[in-house]
Amino acid sequence: MTEAPPWAAAAAALADAVTADAPAWHDAVCNTPRHRLVPRWWQRIPSSPAQEWERVDLPEDSPERLHTTYADVTLVTRVGPTHADHATPGEHGKGDPTSSSTLPGLIVSMAHRLDVRPGQRVLDVGTGTGYSAALFARRFGDENVTSVDVDPYLVEAARTRLAGFGRTPRVEAVDATGGLPDPEYDRIMATVSVRPVPASWLRALRPGGRLVTTIAHTALLITADMGPDGIARGSVQPDPATFMEARREADYPAKLNEVFTTARVREGEDVRPPDGPVPDLWQEWPLRWLYELDTPGVETRAATYPDDGRRVVWLLAADGSWARAEDGTAALVHQGGPRRLWDDLERVRRKWEENNRFPLHSMRAELTPDGSHLLAPAAAWRFAI
């Protein structure tokens, strides 16, 4: 009798935890050695003022490595332009995450929604470490799975590590927002967020095919089925999912620090009391995501004054527009630049309130290569995505 490998019990425990609602995926999770796909990763340094990360590099079968890699957590593998594989001992990563191994429970949940049938061709967008490709290949066969990522190193590393335990899906380095390796797929799942939904995906999705993806800068998870008329119709799902945005370069564009310098304390060109309470956009996330759908690309920051507990919210845009809202007994909004960003936020809030603050999962999706939209239950409120 063959002895089980040291990681088998940890993988089985993970499978028990994440496949309760998707039991067909239990075997795939049990038999996928995630620790071999994520040999090292970045861990944020607590209280680091410069967003610094330290590298974690543990022996392959050590209890600590197995405990972490078979937990239902996301492991950040790349920070800014630096992959954990390439960092030297003691080197600190700096910046925002640019690649990761997504928490297995979310991968399983999305794959379950994808509803792949035997013999169907699957496109896995966002190879990362190769974990989702490994799960698909285990269930449906290597020959039916294509996985793509914009980063050539990630693709080569994933291909090599997958082959190390017998998995050989097709893995290609391409910008998936453009051309795809093959002209047709039955299922497409993206573990990167996008906006717009790429036309190439919708052209490649066969009639009856299904797409599962998220909209950039929101946690809106969309499932849509391609109809015979070339329109994929679906809806926003009730459970949110957050992914890094699809990127084309080694790192994401720099944050709007120069605009923030202006917005931080400067007197606005337009100063007035807010129309209602200053929202906490980190707690009132449906409002934040509706605002992103309506007025895309606005960077949001917030802070609390330590002396009196007042909150301040900043809205920043690449064209130099900015807004600063401070709550308290004499709440004020300052706005500058070519657009009035806080006016836009208040307009979105009013319209949402006028329509009974509808749940975001009540929105429908209509996706075509010529343009995709989310349709709110509010009359004539639609968002290009």
Say which amino acid occupies 356.
N
Q: What is the pLDDT of residues 239-286, one digit of tens each?
A: 999 999 998 777 778 889 999 999 998 999 999 999 999 999 989 999
pLDDT of residue 1: 54
Q: Is the pLDDT of residue 308 over 80?
A: no
Average predicted confidence (pLDDT) for the chain: 95
Pairing outcome for strands 232-236 and 221-226: antiparallel
Contacts of 163 (CB under 8 A, 6+ apart): none
pLDDT of residue 370: 95
pLDDT band at 305 (very low <50, low <70, confident <90, very high): confident
SS3 at position 200: helix
Report the residue count for the chain. Answer: 385
Considering only residues 96 and 225, tell me which one the structure prediction assigns the higher pLDDT: 225
Average pLDDT for residues 298-304, to the nearest whole number?
Answer: 93
Average pLDDT for residues 109-122, to the nearest whole number?
Answer: 98
SS3 at position 126: coil
- Rg value, the chain, Cα: 22
Q: What is the pLDDT of residues 340-379, one digit of tens each?
A: 999 999 999 999 999 999 999 999 999 999 999 999 997 7
Active site residue 132: no
pLDDT band at 336 (very low <50, low <70, confident <90, very high): very high
Task: Please pick, among 62, 99, 101, 109, the residue that the annotation labels catalytic.
Answer: 99
Note the CATH number of domain 257-354: 3.30.160
Q: How many CA atoms lie within 13 A of 133 on its CB side?
A: 33
